Amino acid sequence: MSDRFSLRTEDLTIRFGGHAAVDGVSCAFRPGELTVIVGPNGAGKTTWFNLVSGQLRPTAGRVFKDGRDITALSPSARAKAGIGRAFQLTNLFPQLSVLENVRLAVQARQGAGASIFRRAARLDDIRDEAARHLESARLAGVAHYPAAALPHGDQRKLEVAMLIAMQPDIYMFDEPTAGMSVDEAPAILDLIAEIKKDAAKTVLLVEHKMDVVRALADRIVVLHNGELVADGAPDTVMTLPVVREIYLGVGADDEEEVA
Amino acid sequence: MSDQSITSPSAIPDTRRRVPAGRLIVYAVALAIALCLAFAPFLFPDVRAQEVAARICVFIVLVASYDLLIGYTGIVSFAHTMFFGLGAYGTAMMLKAWGPGFDAIMIGGGLGVAAALVLAVLIGLLSLRVKAIFFAMVTLAAASVMMVLANQLSDFTGGEDGFTYQVPRLFSPAFKLVTDADGKVLRLFDVPLNGKIAAYYFVFLGCLVLFLAMMRIVASPMGTVLQAVRENELRAEAIGYRVVSYRTAIFCISAVIAALAGVLRAVWLKYVGPEVVLSFAIMIDILLMVVIGGMGTLVGALIGVVLMSLAQFYLKDVMEIAAEATAGVPLLPDLLNPDRWLLWLGLLFILLVYFFPAGIAGTLMKKGHHR
């Protein structure tokens, strides 16, 4: 069974006690489409991300990747199925080198993680590919530094480089430019724009900065109190009364709930 | 916005991986230790030194295999001596039952290793999903049960006293490994090339192979994944690694290596008992050696084991000499009395942990490395 949607959630719901953090979200995404997910603090954007990438299990509802039900799969199995996720709070392997961080992602994709007695040729490929990803993320100069030693902006870049190294079908970015300086954010946005060119990839992006949203979004999905309240082309969605109401009520604060 | 990010990456000058001085020192020391062990029978020919050298060899493997768990993967287990004991008891019981022979070592050792593997799979699959503290408790329980079994099933295990047995003739001191023209045992550097030498090199080479295998494991793709699991389990899972599988796999590998070390120990000692292969005192020794050497370094095992073994075996002798030398001075001879050796050992540990918080190898290797 297959459908033309690369990713679909059906009535996706998670309750923490009585509180529904994500409440019956049904939403579908096509390849070649970049969707920005917006919503005020606590709207459930990151929680919805966690449900899709498997860090959280839903109370109800299902997740489909290319028509296949993946609701029961572990995060690692979903990663293998092509769902790649970058995290809002920097989530690296701090004591490992920058190169090793990316190499791990390449290696996971190639299924080479379990090999004990292989080292030479295969690993060179993996390392070269990892080095290429670092190059395009402009991190080649710090390849041998422990990830923890990088400044915040570079850690964010590494986070994105690791996602790109996974080469997933579905890219999920959770506020990739959060906390970055004005001169640094474009580097990340260029990387995302590059991915967008590939018609086979689906990109989901949680972002607050309106200039970013305008520059990249093909479509905007608005979440509020865990519910999907608007979904459509950027121009139409941003003028909807319900969206204006939400945003005017909350203001343009850039902080987001903790994952 | 964060202005710290402006400093990168152009401000960081050197892109090449430099080898810090600390790392060189550690490797030099490790190499020196390896060479000393390789020629131990000729460098330190007395009987006691040979016992110490053989114990050091086996413990390096045992401690390094424990480092795979605690240092590389972040798994805390108290069952490591259980696996060590299984290998040793398997070999010993078969040698006792079948009499001396390599078939008994192979079959008995093989059974011991197999038992260790089965137990490791069971413990791993049943409990590596739970929190680290519960896993540690499960391993503690399993190790205690094994200890009780070894003590109670005295018909098979000799109980608390353990038992002695014969090893193949090749390893007995009376065996002439190399003879001269007269049929007498040949001496090299005044050391007779007898079965004792054969036994030592059996242990040494076995340990060398196991240690090199572990070096290979940590340098392999899997080695990096293990460190990733230690560093950030959630992220490792998120990029596509099944963390439970990797944990179980390394737990099994580590158990098998510990059991093989047990086989070597049993062949050398010609005796097994809870005190020498199974007790919690050994588990604590392993823990201390890993911590002193440096967790997650593997070469730290060499340094930790040598330092601690030398202290355990020779601190008393040194203190005796020191006490005699200071005989005229008030108080000092009493403090340096060999009976107080544990006090000084404790003091030594405290100083080591204070000055080398990441272990000797760990701390030295970080020096000169940017933090």
Cβ proximity of B282 and B214 under 8 Å: no
Q: Of A115, A138, A142, which is closest to B222 when you measure between CB atoms?
A: A115
The model carries a pTM of: 0.85
Q: Residue B10 above 70 pLDDT? A: no
Q: Residue B351 above 70 pLDDT? A: yes
pLDDT tens digits, one per residue of B65-103: 999 999 999 899 999 999 999 999 999 999 988 888 888
pLDDT tens digits, one per residue of B140-183: 999 999 999 988 888 888 888 888 888 888 887 777 777 777 77
The 3-state DSSP class for residue A216 equals helix
Residue contact A79–B238, C-beta within 8 A: yes
- Tell me which residues of chain A have a pLDDT lower than 70: 1-3, 112-122, 248-259
What does the pLDDT read at residue A117? Answer: 63
Q: Residue B6 above 70 pLDDT? A: no
B184 touches chain A (CB under 8 A): no
**ipTM of the complex as predicted:** 0.84
What does the pLDDT read at residue B306? Answer: 94
Query: Once rounded to an integer, what is the mean pLDDT over residues B243-259?
Result: 93
Please, which residues bridge with residue A34 across strands?
Answer: A203
- CA-CA distance, B31 to B4, in Å (whole number)? 41
B209: Cβ contacts below 8 Å, ≥ 6 apart = none
Give how far A97 is from chain B: nearest CA, Å: 10
pLDDT tens digits, one per residue of A18-46: 888 888 899 999 998 899 998 888 888 89
Query: Once rounded to an integer, what is the mean pLDDT over residues B240-250?
Result: 91
What does the pLDDT read at residue B250? Answer: 93
What does the pLDDT read at residue B37? Answer: 92
Q: Residue B207 above 90 pLDDT? A: yes
From A79, which residue of chain B is nearest by alpha-carbon distance?
A: B240
Q: Which has the closest alpha carbon to A172: A56, A35, A4?
A: A35
Cβ proximity of B353 and B6 under 8 Å: no
- CA-CA distance, B262 to B61, in Å (whole number)? 10
Which pair of structure tokens corresponds to residue A2?
Answer: 């297959």
Q: Domain A1-82+168-259 is classified in which CATH homologous superfamily?
A: P-loop containing nucleotide triphosphate hydrolases (3.40.50.300)
Task: Outline which parts of chain A fall under CATH 3.40.50.300.
Answer: 1-82+168-259
Cβ proximity of A144 and B18 under 8 Å: no
What does the pLDDT read at residue B86? Answer: 94
Query: Once rounded to an integer, what is the mean pLDDT over residues B279-303?
Result: 92
Mean pLDDT value across chain B: 86
- CA-CA distance, A5 to A64, in Å (whole number)? 9
To test the contact with chain A by mutation, choose from B8, B17, B72 the residue with the greatest count of A C-beta atoms within 10 A, namely B8
The 3-state DSSP class for residue A130 equals helix
What are the boundaries of each domain within chain B?
A: 41-298
Name which CATH class applies to B41-298. mainly alpha
B11 touches chain A (CB under 8 A): no
Q: Residue B4 above 50 pLDDT? A: no
What does the pLDDT read at residue B364? Answer: 87
pLDDT tens digits, one per residue of B112-141: 999 999 999 999 888 877 788 889 999 999
